[in-house]
Amino acid sequence: MDILKTKSDMQEWSIRKKKQGKTIGFVPTMGFLHQGHVSLMDIGRPLCDELVLSIFVNPTQFGAGEDLDTYPSDIDNDLHLAENAGVTAVFLPNKDHIYPAGFQTEVKLMSLPNYLCGKFRPVHFAGVATVVTKLFNIVMPDVAVFGQKDYQQLQIIHQLTEDLDFRIQIIGGKIIREADGLAMSSRNAYLTEHQRQSALSLYQSIQKAEKLISESNMDSKELSQRITDFIHSFDETQVEYIQFCHPQTLEETSDLSGPVLMALAVKVGTTRLIDNAVFNPHIS
C-alpha cells in the first residue's frame, strides 16, 4: 500500500496508473475509520484495479465552534483497516497542500445546500463541495464511493459531478449500524456511556416514524412533533431538525405516501449526530 503525502505525489501516482491502463476507485474520508468506512472500501475494491483512500480533516467544512480541533484520529489503525480492505494507496495530505497560501476558490451549489444540515451549518457544504472537487482532480478516480449516512452530502456530490462534468461514477453505500442500530460515526467516540444510550433515540425514531406512517395517516407536522417528543424523552437530547423530504430535491414534503426521506440531526450532550432513511422507495 503506497502512502502519498503531497498533491503532486498523488497526482503522479494516478497518472502512472492510468498510463498502465488501470482504473481507480476512491473513498474520501476524514479518518478515525470504522466499519462504515470499510464497507465503502469493500464496495470500491472489486470495481477498479486500484483503490485510493484519502484521510483529510477538511477545515473549510467546519463552522466556528464546531469540532475541527478535537476531531478524533488514529492513523495507525486507519492504515491497518485500509490495508486489510485492499486499498492500494492512501492520500494523507496536510492542510497546506490542499489550501496553499492565496487559495481563493469555492465550489457552491445553488439549491441542495439550502435544506436539512445546510440550514444549520452554513459553510459546511461549500467546504465539502470544494474539497471533493479538488480531491477528484488530484486522485482522478473512475469511481468514487460515499455513504448514505451523509445523505445530503451524497446528493450534492451526485449533482456537482454532473454539473462540473466529472467522468466519475458515484456510488452510495448503505448506512452501517452498530448491533443496537446506532449509525456508525467517528463522532460516536465523543459519547459517554449514558449518552450512547440516548443516541439510540435517532434510529429508534426512524423505526417509529416508519411504523406510524404505515399504520396511520398522520401528516408530517404531527409526525415530526411525535418524533421530537420521543427523542426528547431521552436524557441530554436536543433535536436540531426532523424533516420529511423529497429524496432527490430534498424539498420538504407533507405527502408521506410515496418515497420520502426522513432526515434528522440531534445533539446528544454536545455531540451532533445525524441519521436518515428513505421510506417507500419503490412507490411513486
Q: Which is nearer to ligand AMP, 37 or 97 (CB)?
A: 37
Verify whether residue 80 is a known catalytic residue: no
C-alpha span between 84 and 78 (Å, rounded):
10
Does residue 184 belong to the site contacting ligand AMP (CB under 6 A)? yes
Does residue 141 belong to the site contacting ligand AMP (CB under 6 A)? no
The minimum distance between CB 219 and ligand AMP, in angstroms, equals: 30
Does residue 44 belong to the site contacting ligand AMP (CB under 6 A)? no
The minimum distance between CB 39 and ligand AMP, in angstroms, equals: 6
C-alpha span between 157 and 76 (Å, rounded):
29
Length of the chain: 284
User: Phi first, then psi: what are they for 129, rounded to 5°?
Assistant: -60, -40
Stretch that binds ligand AMP, among 17-25, 36-44, 190-198, 269-277 (CB under 6 A): 36-44
- Of 37, 80, 124, 282, which one is the catalytic site residue? 37
The minimum distance between CB 237 and ligand AMP, in angstroms, equals: 20
C-alpha span between 149 and 232 (Å, rounded):
22
Among 30, 75, 170, 200, binds ligand AMP (CB under 6 A): 30
Half-sphere exposure (CA, 13 Å, Cβ side) for 259? 11
* Strand partners for 278: 261
- The overall longest dimension of the chain from CA atoms, in Å, is 58
The minimum distance between CB 190 and ligand AMP, in angstroms, equals: 13
Does residue 183 belong to the site contacting ligand AMP (CB under 6 A)? yes
User: Phi first, then psi: what are they for 218, rounded to 5°?
Assistant: -60, 140
The two beta strands, 169-173 and 143-147, are parallel
What are the residues binding ligand AMP (CB under 6 A)?
Answer: 29-30, 36-37, 39-40, 146-147, 149-150, 173, 175-176, 183-186
